[in-house]
């Protein structure tokens, strides 16, 4: 199973920008979502290895969640919960079920309230996005390199690393949106989901750095829930698995 670890911590609501220099009654919202992003991989949460200055700035100027809990951390259910605000047994997505697009979602409500809505990046909910004026999503897990995106009238492929491509598409959304309406953008990154394939400029990022051995490196899972040994998240066993 592919788990989203502490996604709510790294999913950052940025907004409350003014449309014309004055605080707007309807703030613009950018929701950034990362996949399988561990809390201890962010320097704002105490990481001594990863340096994340941009996330740290958001944490400093905004709010850090330091006492958060999750009821269903699997990839697809967590996304359905974010859209609906409901527990998995209520929104109909307890595991890898197809999301019922007729359900109420935050996007539908904001769209009805006059927002220009969009989602770009990883969707992973089976059905097409609904409630979005513009959507451009990866099929399933998507690919780290030269990703293909699904759009309402078909699909297209862009050369490059998925993180860069997704971010560029998000910036394009912000630049080309109608400026007479508030906007809501869900920017869903594939990274850092397994198989941990960075872009070329970051492959040697930790080459000369000593990384402390985590306490759980040699965990035999004997005292853990039965599902954990089947989880493909261990460095020794799964680092090179596609």
Round to whole Å and give the CA distance between 239 and 197.
10
Q: What residues does each domain of the chain span?
A: 7-208
7-208 folds as Alkaline Phosphatase, subunit A (3.40.720)
Residues acting as catalytic residues: 75, 124
Note the pLDDT of residue 233: 67
Residue from 141, 15, 35 nearest 82 by CA:
35
Query: How high is the pLDDT of residue 220?
Result: 82
Environment class of residue 26 by beta-carbon count within 10 Å: exposed (0-12), middle (13-18) or buried (19+)? middle
Q: Read off the pLDDT of residues 124-181 as tens digits, 9 standing for 90 and up.
A: 999 999 999 999 999 999 999 999 999 999 999 999 999 999 999 999 999 999 999 9
Residue ranges of the chain with per-residue pLDDT less than 50: 1-23
The pTM assigned to this predicted structure is: 0.83
């Amino acid at each position: 199973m592919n788990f989203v670890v502490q996604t709510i911590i790294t999913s950052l609501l940025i907004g409350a920008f003014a449309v014309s220099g004055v605080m707007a009654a309807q703030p613009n919202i950018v929701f950034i979502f990362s996949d399988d992003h561990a809390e201890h991989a962010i320097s704002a949460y105490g990481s001594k290895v990863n340096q994340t200055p941009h996330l740290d700035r958001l944490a400093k100027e905004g709010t850090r969640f330091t006492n958060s809990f999750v009821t269903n951390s699997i990839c697809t259910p967590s996304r359905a919960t974010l859209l609906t605000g409901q527990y998995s047994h209520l929104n109909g997505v307890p595991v890898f079920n197809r999301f019922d697009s007729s359900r109420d979602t935050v996007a539908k409500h904001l769209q009805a309230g006059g927002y220009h809505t969009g989602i770009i990046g990883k969707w992973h909910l089976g059905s097409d996005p609904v409630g979005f004026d513009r959507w451009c999503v990866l099929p399933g897990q998507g690919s780290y390199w030269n990703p293909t995106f699904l759009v309402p009238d078909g699909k297209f492929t862009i050369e490059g690393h998925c993180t860069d491509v997704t971010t560029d598409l998000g910036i394009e959304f912000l630049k080309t949106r109608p400026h007479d309406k508030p906007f809501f953008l869900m920017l869903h990154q594939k990274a850092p989901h397994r198989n941990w394939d960075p872009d070329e400029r970051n492959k040697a990022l930790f080459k000369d750095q000593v990384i402390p051995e985590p306490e759980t490196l040699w965990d035999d899972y004997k005292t853990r829930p039965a599902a954990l040994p089947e989880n493909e998240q261990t460095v020794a066993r799964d680092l090179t698995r596609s």
